[in-house]
Structure 1
Amino acid sequence: MSGHGHQLSDEEAAAIFEPPSWDERYSGPEKVWSGNPNAQLVAEVAGLTPGTALDVGCGEGGDVIWLARQGWRVTGADFSANGLARAARHAEQAGVADRTDWWQVDARTFTAGGRSYDLVTSHFLHPPDGGMVAVTRRLAGAVAPGGHLLVVGHAPSEVFTHLTASQRRAMFVAEDLLPGLPDDFEALVVEQRPRTTTRDGVTVDIHDSTLLARRTS
């Protein structure tokens, strides 16, 4: 997504956020992601009692597999059919297929449809034009009373100047998401957490925008 040789048109930039773009990314032979669980998921969920979980934007299933190994019953949701197919294969290879389900759905339009989960989580989902506030509201609708919502994303940074303008505008700080929390949610963590990662062989410092909230009723 960073190798564009020309300035993207509005149409091309918008296409990056649509299912066909991600189906194409997941159509090759190589893994797109490391398969390791996201750092903030491990930090916040390790102390929770396992129950049911929904991971929205699950991609190749790394977080789903980690949660299942911790004893959770997990539904992985994504709008990419190819991504979900990969995730299901990875879960089978990891020996947790019996603790996982898969749901093809677009986070921007989905509704819980009567389903509820003890944990709803989403990592590095970045819809354009500030759309993550509305997505947060939709995610909150799937949280069971007493359950938790964890949303993590990239905080704006000069580290991401290689991305398109649309991608950079889609980044957020945790405070931006607070309007998406219904009245019966209590925000427990609202912060940008530093993390070191490697990109193209170079170590870089970034920040994870982290929102953890609990549904009180």
Structure 2
Amino acid sequence: MTVKERFSQLQKKINDVCESCNRDPSSVQIVAVTKYVSMETTAEALDAGLLHIGENRTEGAVQKWNGLGDRGIWHFIGSLQSRKVKEITGKFEYLHSLDRLSLAKELDKRLEDGQVMKCFVQVNVSGEQSKSGLTPGEVIPFINDLADYPRIVIVGLMTMAPFYDDPELTRPIFRKLREIRDSVQELELAHAPCKELSMGMSNDYHVAIEEGATFIRIGSALVGKE
């Protein structure tokens, strides 16, 4: 099956989920996670009409951006080391894994005048030790501290749920992230409009959409594996 065919199937499934929970399908953006596929397959995804491309390793990400960066909107979705920041600034529009002030400081330093990085604060809602991110209680103090970095805009929150055979078990995690997002929005911070929710992957995106996801990160179910 081609990427275009998978994309068409995925769009239909998203439309069905949105209809069931009274959401506009256009409020859900698909980030095609291309970290395991080639430059050619990434180009195929763009040719199929996908707009958002997600990478999580700087080496492969920059290589693909150098070849295809004039197409689509690029998201860095993996953990980012401070020493690698200079490789993605000016290239990637979104970062999904902001979780510490040292990273915010380096981003702000490396971005040029007039540039901003649209960031999701990563939240470890499930509390798994294997996952990065802030605890729910750390989110608002952290976002308040980010006001010191004018080139960073907090567009939303991101989380990764555990993998369950029954995706319904992820619902409390996604719901909690939405509740935290709503609490941030109530603060009406200029540097943190925090309207977006990056949550849900190939196995659980339908539950994430029902709980308010605005960006879902889809890899193998969309672009396959190589």
Structures share fold, TM-score greater than 0.5:
no
Larger helix percent: 2
Of structures 1 and 2, the one with the larger relative CO (CA 8 A, separation 6+) is 2
| TM bracket (short chain) | 0.3 to 0.5
User: What TM-score comes out, normalization by structure 1 length?
Assistant: 0.36
Larger strand percent: 1
User: What TM-score comes out, normalization by structure 2 length?
Assistant: 0.35
